[in-house]
Chains A and B, each alone.
Chain A
Amino acid sequence: MSSAAVSDAQLIARVLVQDDRHAFGELVRRHQSAVRASLRKLTAGNHALADDLAQETFLLAFRNLRSFRQEAKFSTWLYRIAYNAFLAERRKTKELPLPDSDDGDPSALAADTAPPLARTVALGIDLQRAMAVLSDAERAAIVQCYHNDLSHEEAAFVLGCPVGTVKTHILRAKQKLKARLGAWAPEG
């Protein structure tokens, strides 16, 4: 099978009509990275839990493939299932283990004297720590719009809320991140 030439819609049709497990495997291969990366962000870096949820996401997608109406992209539909799986897990456990939030001094490497690569890496680390202080909804909105590269409308579909709510979550998230990462802001 020439996977590049076959669209998601064609693979979905093969799964539905012929119960083609290889076609579903191809869908999983195509989207696993994005779904797992998204869940890793939502779980604040808990890779094991994120992968469990990603497996659950694809199993649910397989069972409910007939209900996929192609109104959204298949990847967007997967993100929605993944987000719902994350919420269900969150409700079940109440509190997900978050990564070590021992910040140290977040501005330690922010000085202009630090090498550019070191600055980028350090900012990335601080950003991940700062993401942990966001509420679930704020973090989810950031993940959908920046990491999954969705529009506000698509993010609203995934998160099951109005577009205005998505925008509000992003605005608040950015305010919190700016406050948390203030040392990285350019002067002036």
Chain B
Amino acid sequence: MAMDPTNSDDLWLEQALTADAQATAYVADDGFTATVLSRLPAPATLPAWRRPVVVLLWLMAAGAVAALLPDLFYALFRGISALIVGQQFTLSQIAVALLLVSATTWSTIVYAMRAE
């Protein structure tokens, strides 16, 4: 804060306060930062058990849908594939495609979970 030049009676006190502030201005770290960092809360991460359980639940849900609505699933897949590539696939071709997609998905999941 700037000193008040209008009050010369206070000048010596202003100077003393400023000098005192400057004399005690720097405090060496001496491990203070490291102590603070060690006391920070742990980073928010999913519990180790949670991710495989979530994956398993999604697979179960997908399996349930496929089992309960086989005709709808089949018709939907054939319709989409006809729309995209302009031809109808047989059931065996669809099965191979699903197998490849599943293998790719599992490989990705295993890769993603490698750190744990």
Contacts and interface: CB of A to CB of B under 8 A. Distances in A.
Interface stretch (B14-22, B47-55, B108-116): B14-22
Nearest to A45: B24
B17 A59 contact: no
B19 A124 contact: yes
Residue in B12, B17, B28, B29 with the greatest tally of chain A CB atoms within 10 Å: B17
Interface string B19-37: 1110111111100110111
Contacts of B96: none
B25 A127 contact: no
Contact of B29 (A32, A40, A145): A32
A54 interface: yes
A21 B40 contact: yes
B21 A28 contact: no
Residue in A63, A147, A177 with the greatest tally of chain B CB atoms within 10 Å: A147
A185 B44 CA distance: 58
B9 to A, nearest CB: 8
Contact of A124 (B10, B20, B35, B44): B20
B13 interface: yes
Contacts of B10: 174, 178
A51 interface: yes
Interface in A7-34: 19, 21, 24-25, 28-29, 32-34
A174 B19 CA distance: 15
Nearest to B23: A124
Contacts of B40: 21, 24, 59, 62
A34 B39 CA distance: 20
A48 B77 CA distance: 70
Contact of B1 (A149, A178, A184): A149
A41 B24 contact: yes
A58 interface: yes
A33 B17 contact: no
Given A29-B33, A152-B1, 8 more contacts: A24-B37, A37-B26, A120-B19, A128-B20, A146-B1, A147-B20, A150-B1, A177-B17
Instruction: State the 5 A-B residue pairs at the shortest beta-carbon distance, nearest first.
Output: A145-B1, A33-B27, A147-B21, A36-B27, A146-B17
Interface of B: 1, 9-10, 12-13, 16-21, 23-29, 32-33, 35-37, 39-41, 43-44
